[in-house]
Structure 1
Amino acid sequence: MPDEPTLGEVARRLEDVRTDLRDDIREVGSRIDGMVSVEAMGYELRARDETIRRLTERVTEIEQARAEEARRHDADLRTAEDRRRADKRLLVTALLAPVLLLLLQVYVFSKGAGA
């Protein structure tokens, strides 16, 4: 029976296995301690989703405000454009019409309409 280990050798091997097992369990425990719990992860995900929802709402509000501002600006431009057209018509009627009437009177008097 020379191939069989002695009781002392079996005890040493058993002690080595026990020590390795204890070290492995400690390592697994330290890894587990470093992990986030499912509950904490759920809280974190809900907080992130809430933040994203609030940011999305804020962006939507800003886009709507800019669109409204652009509509008001376009309306102001149209109003200003309408005012410019009215001013041009006023200039034509206020300046050009009297000049044309004066030229017509000069022409009529030069032809001697009264004679």
Structure 2
Amino acid sequence: MPDEPTLGEIARRFEDRLSDVRDDIAQLGRRLDEKVDQKVYDLRHEALASRVTTLETLREKDAEKIVATRRWLIGAVVMPLMSVLLPVIIMIVRGSGA
């Protein structure tokens, strides 16, 4: 009989297990309180997708502006400058070669 637990020991063990179960239930309750509702998650996901789409559109517009600016620079600045300097360079090269 000395190996068998006493009623006091059984009660203490039962109380320990009961407090563990209570702690686990409380922890589950806290985790459930922190959980985001599916509808809220979906709304946030849609808003984020919309922002990404908007940013991609703005980036494409900016890229188009850069291309347009380069074309304008070449057409309005570089080409007239070359049309003025090219005859001068040709005259200098022909004049020095004669």
TM bucket (normalised to shorter chain) is: 0.5 to 0.7
**Paired residue type of 1:19:** S
Unmatched tracts of structure 2, length 5 or more: 89-98
The RMSD of aligned alpha carbons is 2.6
Q: State the partner residue of 1:40.
A: 40
Q: Equivalent residues in 2 for 1:4-83 (5 A)?
A: 4-77=4-77, 78-82=79-83
Percent of aligned positions that are identical: 30
Q: TM-score, normalised by structure 1?
A: 0.59
- Which digits, 9 at most, give the CA deviation of each residue in 1:27-48, with x for residues without a partner? 2221332233443333222222
- Which digits, 9 at most, give the CA deviation of each residue in 1:26-79, with x for residues without a partner? 122213322334433332222222111111110110110121121122111324
- How far is 1:80 from its partner? 4.8
Q: How many aligned positions are there? A: 87
Unmatched tracts of structure 1, length 5 or more: 89-115
SS in 2 for 1:4: coil
Q: Matched residues in 2 for 1:54 and 1:12: separation?
A: 63
Q: Matched residues in 1 for 2:66 and 2:32: separation?
A: 50
